[in-house]
Structure 1
Amino acid sequence: MADVTVHRDVVFHRPPDRESPLELDVYEPANGGADRPAVVVYHGGAWIEGEKGQLEALERALAEQGYVCFDANYRLSGEATFPTPVEDAAAAVRYAKANADEYGVDSDRIATTGHSAGAHLAALIAAADGGFDSTDAPVSSTVAAAAPISGVYDLRDREQATANDVERQFLGGGPDEVPERYERASPAAHVDDATPPTLLLHGDDDDLLPADGAREYARTLAAADRPVELGILPGGGHGIVVDPEDWRERGVETVADFLDRRL
């Protein structure tokens, strides 16, 4: 097993309206190297809780296989509503690109991944193609691939009476109040000919976010003639690659295999 070097609490973004900066952890192969592929990782927690470190097992496994992983925090919905958390997620990609030489990364071979709410961010950053960058950003948050896990990919067409309270808090209102946010926050609304290759990993026993959402997003990507792979894990619940169950190892292997072929 290869050694992994972890750099904790690295400042990657200093929002002007926030007292403290945002931090990430960097996992990299201990033997160093140059022009390595990288993955920017986002934790889950319904956009309202959680922090970096949630997907450490995945990040260590990827680092052992030669990937540099940037595990980023982002502002949660109790502090800031959409699009701020997504802009933070985009800033993490820009940090990886801007510091590619320092970490031995090939800036053209960077992907996103994440679990649950983090999967939504990973998919949205990939599909939006730099659409959440500031106009004066020195580099773009465009990525070469995405591998979201147990995510939600289309927030449109929500009915006011049945809109999820978690989504309301994240988006700053209901679908009748801020419909444009439900549209812009949906990865499916951004799919075009620039959307990078995408792996959608999901458990078929996910009772929080059913796998049908991943299947529908896969159809959207395929209809746009974008490379897409749908990985449905039999018996997997919502916590694949998080909970220490039999299918976590399979989930990690699926993500690693996809990235090996796409980066």
Structure 2
Amino acid sequence: MTPPRKPDIPWTPMEWPDLTARSRPDPDHQFRYGDDSLQVVDLWLPAGRPAAGRWPTILMVHGGCWQSAIADRRLMDWVAADLRERGFAVWNIDYRGVDRDGGGYPGTFRDVADAADLLRIHADAHALNLSRIVALGHSAGGHLALWLAARHRLPAGSMLAQGDPLSIAQVVSLGGLPDLAAVEASPDNGCGTEVIMQLVGDRPDRFADTSVTCLLPLGVPIDLVNGRDDRIVPARMAPAFAALARERGDTLTLHEIADTGHVELIAPDTAAWDATVAMLHRIMPPA
């Protein structure tokens, strides 16, 4: 647990090199769900065998403002490795962002869905527990993790609707951006506003099957973990979405972490990550 900051020592936010300059761990397996270099999934498995027969499994989704040039799944390597050491299996997915051929609408969403559904094919071979999957996403990945849990709510006729989507039991969003309309209307968000049109397409009903606010209630518990000093995701976005989700009938808990920006949310040995790990232990104790 990171000790509390002394009052006389000013807090300094982490920058991306503070995380990415660390020695990079490696996953245990990699699987493909398409021909593009980003249509892959990394599987992180704890050592030994699970005492309960199956590993508790976390479906992980990276952020990067929905743009592959900003981030890919490897940005989550450090927290994936940390969870592996704590007895969790991690299914860390990648996808084509809006800046890649085939990305945007519907490609980015179809990639995320296909990568998630691939988990079922490999579950038995690697003792992955499908009965209580937690989707955990950071930043734009928080939106996509919530969207995965909402797929059963997609409107009929949507290009994104698929039969029998992977069941998600709970969602943990770390500095997420679930309300795409709010992001598009907020020039102070760290992703900008033009990326939303690239993500959802130029359609009259562009948010109906892409923005989580239009798909509420999800019907599963939601945890939002947000840094009070996040300069990428404006602080007002989490409480506004939380209020709407509760109004629509979902169970949602908002965790606001002091002295925390955007990077700290996915950096081991920070107060924010310690809080997330404690939450995961409560949701599904490790094997």
Structure 2 residue 116 is matched with structure 1 residue 93: yes
Structure 1 gaps, min length 5? none
Deviation, 1:128, is 3.1
Equivalent pairs, count: 245
Measured on the aligned residues, the alpha-carbon RMSD in Å equals 2.6
The farther-off stretch of 235-244 and 36-45 is 235-244
Structure 2 residue 61 is matched with structure 1 residue 29: no
Matching of residues 38-187 of structure 1 within 5 Å:
38-49=57-68, 50-78=71-99, 79=101, 80-129=103-152, 131=154, 132=160, 134-135=162-163, 139-156=164-181, 164-173=193-202, 178-187=203-212
AA at the equivalent of 1:28: L
AA at the equivalent of 1:227: T
Note the alpha carbon deviations across 1:26-49, whole angstroms, 9 max, x for none: 111111223221111111111112
Deviation, 1:65, is 2.0
Q: Do the aligned residues in 2 keep the contact of 1:37 with 1:68 (CA within 8 Å)?
A: yes
Note the alpha carbon deviations across 1:16-67, whole angstroms, 9 max, x for none: xx56671111111111223221111111111112111211222122222221
Write the distance in 1 (CA, Å) between the matches of 2:231 and 2:204: 26
Quickly say closer, same or farther: Cα 1:9–1:227, change in 2 above 3 A.
same
Matching of residues 184-203 of structure 1 within 5 Å:
184-192=209-217, 194-203=218-227
Q: Do the aligned residues in 2 keep the contact of 1:46 with 1:117 (CA within 8 Å)?
A: yes
AA at the equivalent of 1:52: R
AA at the equivalent of 1:170: L
Deviation, 1:159, is 7.3
Which structure's relative contact order is higher, taking Cα pairs within 8 Å and 6+ residues apart? Answer: 2
Greater C-alpha radius of gyration: 2
Matching of residues 9-24 of structure 1 within 5 Å:
9-11=30-32, 13-14=33-34, 22-24=39-41
| Larger strand proportion of the pair | 1
AA at the equivalent of 2:111: D
Note the alpha carbon deviations across 1:150-182, whole angstroms, 9 max, x for none: 111112367789681121222234xxxx24122
Write the distance in 2 (CA, Å) between the matches of 1:119 and 1:160: 19
Q: Do the aligned residues in 2 keep the contact of 1:199 with 1:255 (CA within 8 Å)?
A: no
Write the distance in 2 (CA, Å) between the matches of 1:60 and 1:159: 34
Runs of 4+ in 1 over 4 A off after TM superposition: 18-21, 157-163
SS at match of 1:201: strand
Q: Which residue matches 1:229?
A: 253
Quickly say closer, same or farther: Cα 1:152–1:20, change in 2 above 3 A.
closer
Write the distance in 2 (CA, Å) between the matches of 1:8 and 1:183: 36
Quickly say closer, same or farther: Cα 1:57–1:214, change in 2 above 3 A.
same
The farther-off stretch of 212-221 and 159-168 is 159-168
Note the alpha carbon deviations across 1:233-255, whole angstroms, 9 max, x for none: 112112223457xxx52222222
AA at the equivalent of 2:247: A
Q: Do the aligned residues in 2 keep the contact of 1:24 with 1:73 (CA within 8 Å)?
A: yes
Structure 2 residue 205 is matched with structure 1 residue 205: no
State the identity %: 24
User: When the two structures are superposed, what TM-score results if normalisation uses the length of structure 1?
Assistant: 0.83
